[in-house]
Amino acid sequence: MTMSTAYSPVPPRQGVAASCLVLPQGHWPDLLSFLRQRFAHVADAWAHRLAAGQVWNDAGEPLAPAAPYRPGLRIWYFREVAHEMPVPFDIAILYRDERLLVVDKPHFLACVPGGRHVRETVLTRLRSQPGLEQVSPIHRLDRETAGVMVFCVDAASRGAYQRLFEQRSVQKEYEAIAPWRPDLSLPRLHRSRLAEVPGEFVMQEVAGEPNSETLISLLAQRGSWARYRLQPATGKKHQLRAHLAALGIGIAHDPWYPVFRHDKAADDFSQPLALLARSIAFTDPIDGSQRHFVSQRELAWPAVPA
């Protein structure tokens, strides 16, 4: 099992925390033999890490390639992504106090390290700044989505803020630009059951009891495009993107909905997904104050017909 955790025997590097791997039950002559077999596609990377003393045990001691294999041992290392694409957009700080840090996330920047994104993430950039080494996200946005994102600076308060999202005690408002459907009656409360497409990254609407709900309103119309207000009552993966796609108004420049476009697999920074987390509001669980944070970003109307 691979994981990241608040505890680490080695300090972060440029805002990136070490990852942890718990060795499973089994028999291998040494640690390198296991890693070469388990991660055959990056076997050379593990050999290099071990030879360079870049794999550690819980005591922070480097492990040698010939170290004996011990089931249950936790080993620590830093993930590396070759040729990680720089994201040429900055994070704007909307608010900061002793407990919260609120940012205006740009499009294309992942929230946390994962997959092919390690350094080019909001969390990594924030943690590389003095005083923010332990900052943690309270919720997440899709990598392609821009807008308001809340982080916790004070570890002791993190759980209270996270429970707000778990209990749906947060009012979230998004904006999207998508095709205009004159026959679609708005405002509209769209409820459906969303489920992952087997073997795919995307969601789809299926028969059954609804598990997702979004209030959709019209903000403006320009030719064949419209700007919509989206107010989700639930937080299913890709909920807003899947809901609009199901209504026949897939969000402009969406590489995944209504169908995955292979030509959009690589980022095109000139065509960001037209989806913005406009605002977040909640009652602060620590002091009872009313919190309301609003993105300063604006979605650009598409230059081509819908």
- pLDDT-based confidence at residue 81 (cuts at 50, 70, 90): low
What is the crossing angle of helices 43-51 and 31-38, to 10°?
150
The count of other CB atoms within 10 Å of the CB of residue 116 is: 11
Extents of the domains making up the chain? 2-77, 92-294
Q: Which residues contact 270 (CB under 8 A, 6 or more apart)?
A: none
What is d(CA 74, CA 23) in angstroms, rounded to the nearest whole number?
Answer: 6
Q: Quote the pTM value.
A: 0.79
Q: How confident is the model at residue 1 (pLDDT cuts 50, 70, 90)?
A: very low
Contacts of 143 (CB under 8 A, 6+ apart): 108, 109, 110, 111, 117
The average pLDDT across 230-246 equals: 96
* 78 vs 227, higher pLDDT: 227
DSSP letter string over 141-163?
--TT-EEEEEEES-GGGHHHHHH
Spatial distance between the Cα atoms of 260 and 265, rounded to a whole number of angstroms:
9
Superfamily, domain 92-294: Pseudouridine synthase (3.30.2350.10)
96-148 residue pLDDT tens: 999 999 999 999 999 987 767 667 899 989 988 888 988 999 999 999 999 99
Q: What is the dihedral of CA 179, 233, 95, 160, to 10 degrees?
A: -160
Task: Note whether 143 and 255 are within 8 A (CB).
Answer: no
pLDDT per residue over 140-166, tens digit each? 999 999 999 999 999 999 999 999 999
User: d(Cα 74, Cα 89) in Å, to the nearest integer?
Assistant: 36
The 10 Å CB-count burial string (b at 16+, else e) for 31-49 is bbebbbeeeeeeeebbeeb
The model's pLDDT over 13-57, given as tens digits with 9 standing for 90+, comes to 767 778 899 999 999 999 999 999 988 877 888 888 899 898 999
Q: Are 79 and 19 in contact (CB under 8 A)?
A: yes
H/E element holding 122? Answer: helix 122-127
Alpha helix ranges (H) inside the chain: 31-38, 43-51, 122-127, 158-166, 239-246
Mean pLDDT computed over 76-85: 77
Radius of gyration of the chain, Cα coordinates, nearest whole angstrom:
22
Instruction: Kindly give the pairing relationship between strand 146-152 and strand 275-283.
Output: parallel
d(CA 214, CA 247): 12
